[in-house]
Chain A
Amino acid sequence: MKFTDTLRYAADAATGTPLRTGLLMLAMSIGVAAVVILTALGDGARRYVIGEFSAVGSNLVIVLPGRSETRGFNPANLITSTPRDLTVNDASAILRLPGVARIAPILIATSEINAAGKLREAMLLGTSDEYIHVRQQKLALGRFLAKDDLGHGSAEVVLGAGIRREIFGSANPLGKTVRIGDRRLRVVGVLSEGGQGMGMTTDELLIVPISIAQAMLNSNTLFRILVEARSREQIGEVKASVLKLITQRHEGEEDVTVITQDAVLKTFDKILGVLTLGVAGIAAISLAVAGVLVMNVMLVSVTQRTAEIGLLKALGATSAAVRQLFMAEAILLSLTGGLLGLALGYLGAACLRYLYPSFPAYPPLWAVLAGLATSLASGLIFGVMPARRAAQLDPIQALTKR
């Protein structure tokens, strides 16, 4: 029997019972659609989180004082137990390293802003002019801090959008003087609304030159140094050289921690990847159920078509040919159902994206292929038994049954 004839015959047999075939394909397509949509959700969550993290700034290496790991008792700890401060000079030194594009030192404290007769508590952030590029943030008004040589900043401030709204309302704050702590600073710019990063909103920030912040807080230490590598490939190299440099500058004491955004991202990537796999597994259960349904339908079909099977054998069909006919039908049913489900799943994912535009609910390719493969495999596996039963039918008994 020719392959195309086998397919044609199986397709005829399937369309001969439209309701049963339709219901079966519905079940199969729901299974596949569930896999597609759920993995689209899981993978969408992964992409969403990664996207949010990337907004912090790309190619970022973050230096923080103190060691994150403990190494047990060390005689050196007896002599120098407190970590040295991370200073502006450390930051300047890092900037001279190869592979470093920009740096932004960071000092954070809570402070009060007093202007236009209003007093408000806010987060004070001392940094340099490069900060806005490193963190990839946008300005709504004016300009960012002027370029300085880390330590000679002028008395100016950039306001977060929330602070600006609460203190100045809709009035133009540029050029106005505000009082922060015991200093009078001129407003030069306003950040745009909704900036996110490192777990906090930028709407509540007061950004001042690092020297002003240090003077206000009477402190010489830094909270963080953000280092931007020239390219993604250089992140590892920059991380190593930064650590080496700081260790040298701190008299051989490795008292800083250098983390890369990559490491954080990878962790999230892994967690959400596993989550996606988990939901895909749950969805696959519905596929297995659909597979059992395929078997049931095919068994009923064999019983109903007993006479036909007997006839085929009398007309010279080998057992193998009969088996192939029924296998072809099972595979055809499940594959068509699978493709239908794929269409349904993509439609569902598209609906999700339409409803939540910021959520990238695209089903990953592996899930699509796995869904299709599972539907095909369930057709194969659950088609074997009915097909064998059909092939083993005794033609005489099959023919005498009316």
Chain B
Amino acid sequence: MPLASLIQLKSIARTFTLGDSKVHALRDINVSISPGEYIAVMGPSGSGKSTLLNLIGLLDSADAGAYTLEGRDVNTLDQNELAKVRSERIGFIFQSFHLVPRLTAAANIALPLILSGMSAAERNKRVEQALKEYGLTDRAQHRPNELSGGQRQRVAIARATVQRPAVLLADEPTGNLDRVTGEEVVRLLEALNAQGMTLIVVTHDPVLGARARRQIRMEDGSIVSDITQPTA
């Protein structure tokens, strides 16, 4: 284990109450993730992989256990501090893209910057650069319904990375895409990982999962295997 771990989960548990019964979405999760890792979280539906991703992304909090992100105990942060960490250190990519339909591609990419209170001049510069990096410059003023699936996910990735986060969390990023565009998107994500961004992908797809250096397999809220492939 490298000295400075980015994400440290210790005996994490998460329980949902559905009616009378308790569902253990996560039980006794222990994971340590170093900066720059490429991880695939796999497992059947309901195995708790999305819950784990939400937890790492600070959208959810654990019932028990300790979560340390970049050396800070997350449990000690209040709602506003959590929002700040989400804004600056974490990027989300969703299966259904979650673009705001009435906003243009450029405006969608600018959203995290707007929320963080960045000045318009600085913002425009950053958005323009992001559009260029993802080959979307000529699509900047299009709304999501005027974009192809691949373009939509590129906008979503541009939005997730415009703040230069430490961790990129992708929940089934290729789930709504055909194989070719899915492949494109995965390569884009892997390129970001190659630049040093930690990438955690949740997927059903064993082919996609196999590309990651480290594979975490989950079942029934527990980690059943955690394999790191030796670097070639």
Contact = CB atoms under 8 A, between A and B. Distances in A.
Is B one of A's binding partners?
yes
Interface of A: 1-2, 5, 9, 12-13, 16, 307-308, 310-321, 395-396, 399, 402
Nearest to A12: B102
A2 B115 CA distance: 8
B98 A311 contact: yes
Nearest to A318: B83
Nearest first, the 9 A-B pairs at minimum CB distance are A316-B87, A16-B102, A318-B83, A316-B86, A315-B112, A311-B98, A5-B114, A314-B92, A395-B59
Contacts of A315: 86-87, 92, 111-112, 115, 159
Given A12-B103, A318-B79, A318-B80, A312 B59 contact: no
A75 B103 CA distance: 92
The dominant DSSP class at the A interface is helix
Nearest to B114: A5
A399 B100 contact: no
Interface residues of B, number: 31
Nearest to B55: A396
Given A5-B114, A12-B103, A317 B83 contact: yes
B187 interface: no
A385 B186 CA distance: 42
Interface string B83-122: 1111110001010101011110001000110111101100
B124 interface: no
Contact of A316 (B60, B101, B115, B120): B115
22 contacts: A1-B115, A1-B116, A2-B114, A2-B119, A5-B117, A5-B120, A12-B103, A13-B102, A312-B111, A313-B86, A314-B98, A315-B115, A316-B83, A317-B83, A317-B87, A318-B84, A320-B80, A321-B115, A395-B59, A399-B59, A399-B94, A399-B98
B54 A396 contact: yes
B173 interface: no
A62 B103 CA distance: 74
B43 interface: no
A310 B119 CA distance: 24
A314 B120 CA distance: 21
B221 interface: no
Nearest to B160: A315
